[in-house]
């Protein structure tokens, strides 16, 4: 499971909050590539 998938499942619980703060640019890049 990627952290992005965990965000989809657990965003409201903040499970990956710290992780995504370190990888925001990577996630944004993936979203921009997909969409």
pLDDT digit string, tens, across residues 4-34: 777 777 665 655 555 656 567 777 777 787 6
How many C-beta neighbours within 10 Å does residue 10 have?
Answer: 13
CA distance 15 to 10: 6
Q: Where are the domains of the chain?
A: 3-34
**Helix pair 3-10, 17-34: axis angle to 10 deg:** 110
Full-prediction pTM beyond 0.85? no
Whole-number pLDDT of residue 35:
58
Question: Residue 2: is its pLDDT beyond 70?
Answer: yes
Sign of the dihedral through C-alpha 26, 35, 2, 8: positive
State whether residue 1 is helix, strand or coil: coil
């Amino acid at each position: 499971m990627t952290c992005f998938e965990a965000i989809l499942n657990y965003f409201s619980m903040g499970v990956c909050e710290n992780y995504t703060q370190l990888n925001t640019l990577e996630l944004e890049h993936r979203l921009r590539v997909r969409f």
